[in-house]
Amino acid sequence: MSDERTLDLLEAKIDELRTLNEADGIDLSKEIERLERKLEALREELYANLSDWERVKLARHPKRPYALDYVAAAFDGFYELHGDRIDGDDRALVAGLARLDGRTVVVLGQQKGRSTEENKERFFGMARPQGYRKAQRVMRLAERFGFPVVALIDTPGAFPGLEAEERNIGGAIAESLLTMSGLRVPTVAVVIGEGGSGGALAIGMADRVLMLENAVYTVISPESAAVILWKDKERMKEAAEALNLTADRLHDLGLIDGVIPEPLGGAHKGFERTATALREELVRQLEELGNRTPGELVEGRHRRYREVGQYRDASADDG
Instruction: List, for residues 100-111, the tens digit of each pLDDT value.
Output: 999 999 999 999
- Among 7-21, 117-131, 237-251, which is the least confidently predicted range? 7-21
pLDDT digits (tens, 9 = 90+) for 157-180: 999 999 899 999 999 999 999 999
Q: Are strands 208-212 and 258-260 parallel, antiparallel or unpaired?
A: parallel
DSSP assigned state of 113: -
CB 263 within 8 A of CB 229: no
Does residue 82 surpass a pLDDT of 80? yes
C-alpha 19/C-alpha 32 separation (Å) is: 11
Mean local confidence (pLDDT), 299-315: 84
CB 292 within 8 A of CB 183: no
C-alpha 290/C-alpha 151 separation (Å) is: 17
Query: Residues near 234 by Cβ (< 8 Å), separated by ≥ 6?
Result: 226
Instruction: With cut-offs at 50, 70 and 90, classify the pLDDT of residue 316.
Output: low
For residue 308, the model assigns a pLDDT of 85
For residue 200, the model assigns a pLDDT of 96
Query: Residues near 298 by Cβ (< 8 Å), separated by ≥ 6?
Result: 181, 182, 183, 184
Q: Are strands 187-196 and 216-218 parallel, antiparallel or unpaired?
A: parallel
For residue 25, the model assigns a pLDDT of 64
Instruction: With cut-offs at 50, 70 and 90, classify the pLDDT of residue 286.
Output: very high
Mean local confidence (pLDDT), 268-293: 96
pTM of the model: 0.86
Calculated CA dihedral for residues 6, 12, 14, 18, nearest 10 degrees: 180
For residue 2, the model assigns a pLDDT of 47
C-alpha 163/C-alpha 189 separation (Å) is: 28
pLDDT digits (tens, 9 = 90+) for 38-60: 777 777 666 777 889 999 999 99
Query: Quick one: CA dihedral 82, 83, 89, 94, positive or negative?
Result: negative
Instruction: With cut-offs at 50, 70 and 90, classify the pLDDT of residue 122.
Output: very high
Does residue 155 surpass a pLDDT of 80? yes
Query: Residues near 113 by Cβ (< 8 Å), separated by ≥ 6?
Result: 119, 120, 121, 122, 124, 125
CB 130 within 8 A of CB 87: yes
**DSSP SS3 for 155:** strand
Cα R_g (the chain), whole angstroms: 21
Mean local confidence (pLDDT), 86-91: 91
pLDDT digits (tens, 9 = 90+) for 247-267: 999 999 999 999 999 998 889
Mean local confidence (pLDDT), 192-201: 95
C-alpha 319/C-alpha 172 separation (Å) is: 43
Q: Residue 61's closest CA among 5, 128, 137?
A: 5
Query: Residues near 94 by Cβ (< 8 Å), separated by ≥ 6?
Result: 67, 68, 71, 80, 107, 108, 109, 110, 111
Q: What is the residue-averaged pLDDT of the chain?
A: 90
